[in-house]
Amino acid sequence: MERRRISASVAGVIAGLQMASKSLEPSLMPRSAVDQGLIMAGSFATGYVAGAAAARVLGALPVIGATAVLRLAGVTATAARSNRLLRRLDDSTVGSDDDISAWTEAGIDVLESVSLAHAVSRRRRAVFEAATVAAVAVPSGLEAHAALGTRTDEVDATYLAAASGTAVGIVALSAALVAAVRASGRLARKATDTSGIVGALVSSGAILGAIGILGIGGKVALGRVIGSIAQGNQATESAYADSPRSPNVSGGEHSLIPYETLGLQGRRLVSEVTPVATIEAVMGEPALAEPVRVFVGVQSAESTEEQIELAIRELRRSGGFDRSSILACSPAGTGYVNYITVEAAELMSRGDIATVAIQYGNLPSMLSMNKVDHASKLYGALVKRLRVEIDTLDRDISLYAYGESLSAKTSQIGLDRISIDSDPPVDGALWVGTPYGTEMFERLTAEGVAVFDSPSQLHEYLADGSPRPGVVFLNHDNDPVAKFTPSMFYVMPDWLKTPDRGRGMNPHQRWLPGIAFWQGIIDTKNAATVVPGEFRSTGHDYRSDLASFVQVAYAFDDVTADQMERIEAKLRASEIERAENIAQGKVQSA
């Protein structure tokens, strides 16, 4: 029994090292050394569990365990892996292009690890241990070398050292926690001087207690972090401490909504409404009106119904229903509405537009998944109420929808709930970076609605004579938010099965069971690493594309090429100014 346990542990380490070396392979986004270390640690843990479990199962089989059959299988697996590695070194495009071949490769690696562990645990001699180390180190080194050869980012010795150090630290800490939990069981049994079934119960109880304490401690720590983030999103910033002077936005002197209830994101949004003078300078012609921005914070009303009615009353007060267009935005988890989209629409409409958004939370989108249902109902109810209000007026008002990232998901679900015969009650919609698996996105794209990766694709689509789409989807080919799903742990996604994967995709990226999941998590975290004013069109950064898509989605057909060029320049300048304002810091916490 002791020998089998040692074999399982060694097999787990070997399989873990194999998976850690493969985790260096490219994915959707560049990653830092620390990020690479996190992926390596997760991949090692996955490999360890797979190798240890396989060793225990195979070791318990009377026909295979502790027999020449296992050694023969291990030799065969080692030869297969070596052949695969040599092929990859010769041709970096060789790899797993379907689920079966990927799982076969993973199975061969695990079988090799079990065989090597079995050999070294049976024959405790230096020569066998040295041979095992070589059998693990050399192929893993070749695996890492082949992986790095397909990366497009810079990876040097310092990077690898930092990544390895991070991974080792995480694995060591995890191992120490596991050892401490197991030790609590042994100490409990020793302290109570029990054995047999009673001893096992005492030991199990102590272990469960230790796990419970760690769980409670982690929950408390996480709660404090989340609470701090939520509090920070209600704080007042120096640059936005004073309420706006414009009567056409929320939070001002005549507003029905107190400025202090708007939250950090709401105060930024209403404070940066585009002035008439700016519209006229950028567009080179007189403005048609002053833009309206209405924002209702989570603290502005006590219930969803009150938030919606407050938004309608505020639109009436500010002149929102006197504008030719109303842009209903579903905000991100913190209440964030993309300033670029709103400013671009205000410039292109010459100010003849009202923007309205209702906040539903104070946490970033990744921490707001539990609020998707509430946010969707809130947005759907808002749009439905806006539609009723518009239909009672003797005016031609276009109602447009906008959502980005998680808010693309919540706005689509919200409109789905209030649609009649699958026809949403809006005159146009722009959805940016829709997360993977969103039902309306999947349904409409299956029906033939186009998904655009860039403005050039959009312009080619229109140049071919296609009509302006009523629903416009903008999803970058390499956007992790639009690609990642937890099932990538064990299922190869369709987008990795095709050789033509789109713009910004590394042709050498492979799906690797277990590893792809950890890569996907880090890719999603790094999906939008931005520099103010430096607009890029990659990953989850859509700033460079938004103006072109706003023009088409919301039918601003009278914007000339020269005006568009000035709009793009103004959007970049505004972002730099906004970043400088934010850098001034906060005057108080909530």
Q: Is pLDDT of 142 > 80?
A: no
What SS3 state is found at 222? helix
Q: Which band of pLDDT confidence, cut at 50, 70 and 90, is reported for residue 193?
A: confident
Query: Average pLDDT of 489-517?
Result: 90
Tokens of 279: 């519209």
3-state helix, strand, coil in the chain (%, to 5): 60, 10, 30
Mean pLDDT lowest for which of 166-170, 208-212, 401-405?
208-212
Q: Which band of pLDDT confidence, cut at 50, 70 and 90, is reported for residue 2?
A: very low
Question: Which amino acid would we find at residue 524?
Answer: T
Place of tokens 């919301």: 554
Q: Which band of pLDDT confidence, cut at 50, 70 and 90, is reported for residue 215?
A: confident
List, for residues 97-128, the tens digit of each pLDDT value. Answer: 678 888 888 888 888 888 777 776 665 555 55
The residues with which 330 forms a beta bridge, in sequence order, are 403
Mean pLDDT lowest for which of 14-18, 76-80, 418-422, 543-547?
76-80
Place of tokens 């225990």: 56
Query: Average pLDDT of 437-462?
Result: 94
Distances from the Cα of 27 to the Cα of 23, 352, 476, 489, 537, angstroms: 9, 44, 15, 14, 17
DSSP state of 489: G
Tokens of 138: 């050399």
Query: Average pLDDT of 53-64?
Result: 74
Please provide the average confidence, as pLDDT, over all residues in the chain: 88
**pLDDT attached to residue 364:** 81
The CA distance from 453 to 545, in Å, is 9
**pLDDT attached to residue 1:** 42
Q: Which band of pLDDT confidence, cut at 50, 70 and 90, is reported for residue 201?
A: confident
Q: Where are the domains of the chain?
A: 1-155+486-526, 240-479+535-559
**pLDDT attached to residue 268:** 96
Q: Which CATH class is domain 240-479+535-559?
A: alpha beta
**pLDDT attached to residue 94:** 44
Instruction: Work out the number of other CB atoms within 10 angstroms of the CB of residue 385.
Output: 17
- In this prediction the pTM is 0.88
Mean pLDDT lowest for which of 39-48, 93-102, 272-281, 562-571?
93-102
The CA distance from 79 to 75, in Å, is 6
What is the maximum alpha-carbon separation in the chain?
A: 92
Query: Average pLDDT of 175-200?
Result: 85
Burial (CB count within 10 angstroms: exposed 0-12, middle 13-18, buried 19+), residue 94: middle
Instruction: Work out the number of other CB atoms within 10 angstroms of the CB of residue 18.
Output: 26
Length of the chain: 590
Instruction: Work out the number of other CB atoms within 10 angstroms of the CB of residue 6.
Output: 16
Q: Is pLDDT of 266 > 90?
A: yes
Instruction: Work out the number of other CB atoms within 10 angstroms of the CB of residue 277.
Output: 9
Q: Is pLDDT of 4 > 50?
A: no
List, in sequence order, the alpha helices (H) in 193-251: 196-232
List, for residues 68-94, the tens digit of each pLDDT value. Answer: 666 666 666 666 666 666 666 555 444
**pLDDT attached to residue 553:** 96
List, in sequence order, the alpha helices (H) in 272-405: 276-283, 304-318, 339-348, 372-391
Query: Average pLDDT of 139-150?
Result: 79
Find which of 182-186, 230-234, 438-442 is predicted with most confidence, using mean pLDDT: 438-442
Find which of 63-72, 520-529, 580-589 is predicted with most confidence, using mean pLDDT: 520-529
What SS3 state is found at 362? coil
Tokens of 249: 């936005």
The CA distance from 282 to 56, in Å, is 71
Rg (CA), the chain: 29
Instruction: Work out the number of other CB atoms within 10 angstroms of the CB of residue 232.
Output: 14
Place of tokens 């005006």: 563
Q: Is pLDDT of 65 > 60?
A: no
Q: Is pLDDT of 519 > 60?
A: yes
